[in-house]
């Protein structure tokens, strides 16, 4: 009971004390967003255009919905010729690889990449790649795209503007993942364990997908730092807080439909308010490298799995497994994983 009250208090506090709205000029900048056609991503795209970005590329599965989002952005910002809609299906490796290739070949620079695409499935769903779809989209494909964009992001560093930014949309729920939710028997890998239908629980799977992203942020941050300490690409993650979006659209029970809207009105931030955190994370400097950003601060995670010795061992193990999986999908991964 005490834990529930504490949790509701945190939600209410987040609802009352909203993040600062970023006002940094992005004149001349090129921005990429995945999952930018609705919810948090759409609101982030609107902000990037209003902040003066020269180009905002939105990667999304449905070109039709993407064009609808583009029209919305252009209407609200009164800016045309900024937003571009590029097809990207995060449930398929070949689509991710093709999207990254297009980025690397067609645009001269990439200043900000906000990897925001994500799902929360009510039921166990397999992707065409053979992985549970939450794991596929939120974790494996997102990490693959991040690695494939690193070279372009590195090359976009400037003497005046500094390093480019790579930000992952994460979730504070990763703090509540337990070690036993990542590992089963000794002869079963972490990915095999979290991919098994017998271990699937919707909310737990979402949390697991996000702690795996947090593990990846730590590892990619090391890759993006030179031996002399120079940061080539600023890598971080951000949690927008509890927001009223359509992430839970598959949860359509009578109780959820009846009480969900009321709960969000009382405790939830709007998508616009949540997007402030995502955008501000992409504008942070090197002090944010390898860190988790939420509520306009870097929270103390020392008491949670991510910071424990057990967590560090699981991080190394999970990263090794993820890299081995991605190497089978793209021959570039081995080369890209070399420190700069």
Active-site position among 152, 175, 210, 218: 210
Beta bridge partners of 158: 162
80 as an active site residue: the answer is no
29 as an active site residue: the answer is no
> Cα–Cα distance between 239 and 281 in angstroms, integer?
9
Q: What is the 3-state secondary structure (H, E, C) of 45-77?
A: HHHHHHCCECEEEEEECCHHHHHHHHHHHHHHH
Q: Write out the E strands in 88-182.
A: 112-115, 164-169
Annotate 53-84 with b (16+ C-beta within 10 A) or e (fewer).
bebbbbbbbeeeebeebbebbbeebebeebbb
Phi-psi region of 177 (alpha: psi -120 to 50; beta: other; left: phi over 0): beta
Burial class of residue 161 in the structure, from the number of CB atoms within 10 Å of its CB (0-12 exposed, 13-18 middle, 19+ buried) = exposed
Q: Residue 264: enclosing H or E segment and its boundaries?
A: helix 254-267
CB 233 within 8 A of CB 157: yes
The 8-class DSSP code of residue 251 comes to -
Active-site position among 206, 207, 218, 291: 206
Q: Which amino acids are annotated catalytic?
A: 206, 210
């Amino acid at each position: 009971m005490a834990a529930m009250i504490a949790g509701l208090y945190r939600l209410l506090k987040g609802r009352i004390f909203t993040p600062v709205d970023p006002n940094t000029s992005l004149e001349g900048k090129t921005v990429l967003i995945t999952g930018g056609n609705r919810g948090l991503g759409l609101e982030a795209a609107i902000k990037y255009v209003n902040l003066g970005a020269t180009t905002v590329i939105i990667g999304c599965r449905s070109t039709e919905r993407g064009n609808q989002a583009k029209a919305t952005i252009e209407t609200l910002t009164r800016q045309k010729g900024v937003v571009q809609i590029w097809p990207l299906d995060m449930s398929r490796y070949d689509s991710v690889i093709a999207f990254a290739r297009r980025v690397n070949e067609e645009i001269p620079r990439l200043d900000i990449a906000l990897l925001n695409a994500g799902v929360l499935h009510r039921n166990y769903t397999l992707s065409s790649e053979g992985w549970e779809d939450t794991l596929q989209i939120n974790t494996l494909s997102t990490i693959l795209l991040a690695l494939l964009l690193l070279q372009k992001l590195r090359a976009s560093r400037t003497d005046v503007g500094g390093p480019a930014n790579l930000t992952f949309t994460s979730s504070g729920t990763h703090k509540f993942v337990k070690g036993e939710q990542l590992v089963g028997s000794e002869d079963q890998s972490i990915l095999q364990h979290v991919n098994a239908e017998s271990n699937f629980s919707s909310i737990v799977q979402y949390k697991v997908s996000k702690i795996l992203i947090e593990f990846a942020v730590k590892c990619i941050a090391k890759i993006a730092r030179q031996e002399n300490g120079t940061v080539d690409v600023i890598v971080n993650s951000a949690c927008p807080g509890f927001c009223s979006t359509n992430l839970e659209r598959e949860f359509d029970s009578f109780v959820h439909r009846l009480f969900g809207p009321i709960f969000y009105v009382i405790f939830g931030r709007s998508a616009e308010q949540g997007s402030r955190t995502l955008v501000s994370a992409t504008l942070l400097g090197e002090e944010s490298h390898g860190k988790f950003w939420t509520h306009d601060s870097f929270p103390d995670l020392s008491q949670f799995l991510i910071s424990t010795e057990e967590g560090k061992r699981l991080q190394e193990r999970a990263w090794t497994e993820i890299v081995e999986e991605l190497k089978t999908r793209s021959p570039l991964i081995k080369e890209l994983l070399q420190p700069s």
